[in-house]
Amino acid sequence: MRHILPWLLVLASPVAFAHGDHQGHGELLDGLLHPLLGLDHLLVALAIGLWVGRLAGDTRPLRAPYLLVLALTLTMLLAAWLGNSIQLSDGLSALIEPGIAVSLLALGLLLARPAAMPPLIVFALLPVLVVAHGLAHGTEGSVAAGMAYLAGLGIVTFGLHALGLWLAPRMTPLLNGGLSLLMLGSGAWALL
């Protein structure tokens, strides 16, 4: 563990977080790359897929997990578009980054649980988490440059959700614990 912790802290560095100072110009390539290069987006998108995958494999199977992650992806894109279209107050804008940090902490804690949450809790919590990320994209300016950015963002985000769905039944306790720890460390670091 002592050999892994320094690497987790390096990976969780605020520089690795992709919100707030986006370097792209809102083109398709920027949208395609952001979910892969933004550690927060990568972790949250993958964790959402894993979490929904747990529901799909639970004793009360979720009938259409891919439709649920598609709906969550579209919700994030709608929040990004709305975040760009409406002027958020300074108070709300200031809550976006802490909201993303809290989403990392929440998903890290939920993945650490040995059993899936009741579906009602999932259906209430997941949209809130994806809206926080969508608003962050809407306020960072890339969305204003065009719908190509949103298209790329949506395609790769859905792909990460689908990867999480595929990985869910294959996750070992060690991998699951490592991902949970990485998310908790990243969320805690982002709150600093």
Q: Which residue has the tokens 């004793």?
A: 59
pLDDT at 182: 95
Compute the C-alpha angle 118/78/188, nearest 5°.
55
What pTM does this model have?
A: 0.82
What pLDDT was estimated at residue 8? 45
When comparing pLDDT for 149 and 158, which is higher? 158
Q: For 168, which DSSP code?
A: G
Sorting pLDDT into bands at 50, 70 and 90, what band is 104?
A: very high
Bigger pLDDT: 24 vs 103: 103
Residue 141 pLDDT > 70: no
Q: What is the distance of C-alpha 52 from the center of its chain?
A: 13
Comparing CA positions, the residue from 165, 128, 160, 157 lying closest to residue 50 is 165
Exposed/middle/buried for residue 6 (C-beta within 10 Å: 0-12, 13-18, 19+): exposed
The radius of gyration computed from the CA coordinates of the chain, to the nearest angstrom, equals 16
Element (H, E) at 56: helix 39-57
Pair 72, 62: CB distance under 8 Å: no
